[in-house]
Structure 1
Amino acid sequence: MLVIGIAGGTGSGKTTVARRILKRIGTEHVALLSQDSYYKHQPHLTKEERAQVNYDHPNSFDNELLIEHLQELRQGRRIQVPVYSFSEHIRTEESIPLAPTPVVVLEGILVLADELLRKEMDIKVFVDTDADVRVLRRINRDMRERGRSFDSVYAQYLNTVKPMHEAFIEPSKRYADLIVPEGGENEIAVTLLASRIRQSIMT
């Protein structure tokens, strides 16, 4: 099994790159796994306390479970991917079954920041997009898809998103095998990745 890790700041275009690869190669060969599904489950905290958690810090992710799931897929076993509620800041009781495929694309802001997680990857990619573009995409996404107000998104960006990007996400770029400027709009990079995946499937 080939594991491709795609990291980058919030709104950089990681998911777009991953989905374009999936579209080119097909779901029978490639599975998409998002680090966002693996935020820590913290039911012992109140909703107000959970809302104050720094979700852009590496410690907010349950990477142990994520690594366990990648290893299960490598061994040919189906996994149950957690479903995370961004409005309640907690995992739901649901999960999504994911069957093993020849290629797994793992995308998330901090997938390259964890050494043990990096060891599970065969190809490491960093999507590098201008900060102004990223923040506008973040505001648009959180207001439209996650029911957030502009003020809350803006405050979170200044208090945690920007400082955590500079402290953890940007430095993880040095571990990348491939840096992709401008995300999903970079046709050459997507073509190169798709070509490498096809090569892996055929061998």
Structure 2
Amino acid sequence: MGSKSVEELLENSVGVHFSGLHVDDIELRNSEQQLLATAETENDCREPFVIGVAGGAAAGKTAVCDMIIEKLHDQRVVLVNQESFYYDLTEEELNHVHEYNFDHPDAFDTENLLCCMEKLRHGLAVDVPNYDFKSHKRKLPARKVNRSDVIILEGILVFHDPRVREMMNMKIFVDTDADVRLARRIRRDTEEKGRDLKTVLDQYSKFVKPAFDDFILPTKKYADIIIPRGGDNHVAIDLIVEHIRTKLGQHNLCKIYPNLSVIQSTFQIRGMHTLIRDAKTTTHDFIFYSDRLIRLVVEHGLGHLPFKEKQVITPTGSVYTGVEFCKRLCGISIIRSGESMENALRACCKGIKIGKILIHREGDNVNLSQSTKGHCR
């Protein structure tokens, strides 16, 4: 299909009649545009990075998604499954459920999927349907999905509709041999769903394979990255994750201020942010966790100062090549907020001298006072 190497792609980052056709009211999406625009302004956040993961049934899409989520553990990542958006079957369709083609594009409520994805992209929480594969109907409660940094949309036909494709920043196609997919499907359906071998093979030959050839395989051409062997291809997944991290690291403020450095968020940092923002947090705990965050900021800032190479002799007599600051350091505290960072600076730099600057306004004039000892008030 003219696929390129993963490294190159990362760098450059018809159908058969279907009796179960459903028509949905698309005016709902138009009526929500103003709400989405308002939410985007109020949240004042960058759009999440949207990843589409497509491929045949049992190709290993879930394994790929799980590995990406695991490696992006320090980011807010949500997974949205296309299977959640199957239509509820009518009584007539339920009576002939073995004749229903679940692999056809018309089996999915794409309008609802588009609505949910649009809200997530604009920072709104959504209720994703909870589809029951035994009753073939949506059941309550729905799954609450909150705003995130990364949205992974997974499903066999997520590349089929051009409107869904346009939402994606990265499109991944999991390409697995047909025999492997069939073997996995047989094992899954017989062990997990209690189906007999004949039923599985009949469904595969009647619906699964034709749908793959007619609808799923043709969408491979839209993929930015094609992963052979699915979750077993650790090299490709590592490259994908690094590419995502690079994109997420391009903070909007960093594009405006090139000398600005933003500390990468981790669960530890987010946990401390949660505590200091909680109205129930005591004053003692607020100060404790604020000091921890301030020390992280100070240590990160020190890492951007110029260093030079220095060799020392270790207690074992070996030569160790390390680094030291190019010049002696001093700190300048801008009163009053800057004073809250003094203890962290002293803890990181033993014996550092700290001067103070007080900026105050008198009418339209700004006056600057400075001192190297004591406090200026």
TM-score (norm 2): 0.52
**Structure 1 position 15 matched with structure 2 position 58:** no
- SS of 1:179's partner is strand
- Residue among 194, 198, 205 paired with 1:147: 194
The C-alpha deviation readout for 1:46-102, integer Å capped at 9, x for no partner, is 522344210011110111111110110111111111111222222223311011101
What do you get for the CA RMSD once the two structures are aligned? 1.5
Query: Size of the alignment, in residue pairs?
Result: 203
- How far apart in 2 are the matches of 1:52 and 1:90? 17
Alignment partner, residue 61 of structure 1: 108
41-50 vs 127-136, which deviates more? 41-50
Alignment partner, residue 283 of structure 2: none
- Residue among 156, 159, 172 paired with 2:219: 172
- Residue among 186, 192, 195 paired with 2:239: 192
1:189, distance to aligned residue in structure 2 (A) = 1.2
- How far apart in 2 are the matches of 1:48 and 1:182? 38
- Whether the aligned pair in 2 keeps the contact of 1:9 and 1:134 (CA below 8 Å) is yes
- Whether the aligned pair in 1 keeps the contact of 2:75 and 2:150 (CA below 8 Å) is no
- SS of 2:96's partner is helix
Q: What aligned pairs does 1:128-147 form with structure 2 within 5 A after superposition?
A: 128-147=175-194
- How far apart in 2 are the matches of 1:22 and 1:110? 21
Q: Please tell me the residue identity of whatever aligns with 2:89.
A: Q
Q: Please tell me the residue identity of whatever aligns with 1:160.
A: F
- How far apart in 2 are the matches of 1:56 and 1:46? 15
25-34 vs 166-175, which deviates more? 25-34
**Structure 1 position 123 matched with structure 2 position 170:** yes
Q: Please tell me the residue identity of whatever aligns with 1:16.
A: A
- SS of 1:91's partner is strand
Alignment partner, residue 38 of structure 1: 85
- How far apart in 1 are the matches of 2:110 and 2:247? 26
45-54 vs 181-190, which deviates more? 45-54
- SS of 2:174's partner is strand
10-19 vs 139-148, which deviates more? 139-148
Q: Please tell me the residue identity of whatever aligns with 1:157.
A: Y
Q: Which is bigger in relative contact order (C-alpha 8 A, separation at least 6)?
A: 1
- Residue among 135, 158, 169 paired with 1:111: 158
Alignment partner, residue 347 of structure 2: none
- How far apart in 2 are the matches of 1:202 and 1:73? 20
Q: Please tell me the residue identity of whatever aligns with 1:186.
A: N
Unpaired runs of 5+ residues, structure 1, are: none
- SS of 1:12's partner is coil
- Residue among 117, 133, 141 paired with 1:94: 141
1:24, distance to aligned residue in structure 2 (A) = 0.8
1:26, distance to aligned residue in structure 2 (A) = 1.9
Query: Kindly, what percent of the aligned residue pairs are identical?
Result: 41
- How far apart in 2 are the matches of 1:129 and 1:147? 24
- Whether the aligned pair in 2 keeps the contact of 1:31 and 1:101 (CA below 8 Å) is yes
- Residue among 71, 74, 84 paired with 2:131: 84
- SS of 2:89's partner is coil
- SS of 2:226's partner is strand
- How far apart in 1 are the matches of 2:215 and 2:148? 30
- Whether the aligned pair in 2 keeps the contact of 1:124 and 1:176 (CA below 8 Å) is yes
The C-alpha deviation readout for 1:128-148, integer Å capped at 9, x for no partner, is 000000001111112222332
Q: Please tell me the residue identity of whatever aligns with 2:151.
A: V
Runs of 4+ with >4 A deviation: none
- How far apart in 2 are the matches of 1:180 and 1:46? 36
- Whether the aligned pair in 2 keeps the contact of 1:87 and 1:147 (CA below 8 Å) is no
Q: Please tell me the residue identity of whatever aligns with 1:164.
A: A
- Whether the aligned pair in 2 keeps the contact of 1:43 and 1:90 (CA below 8 Å) is no
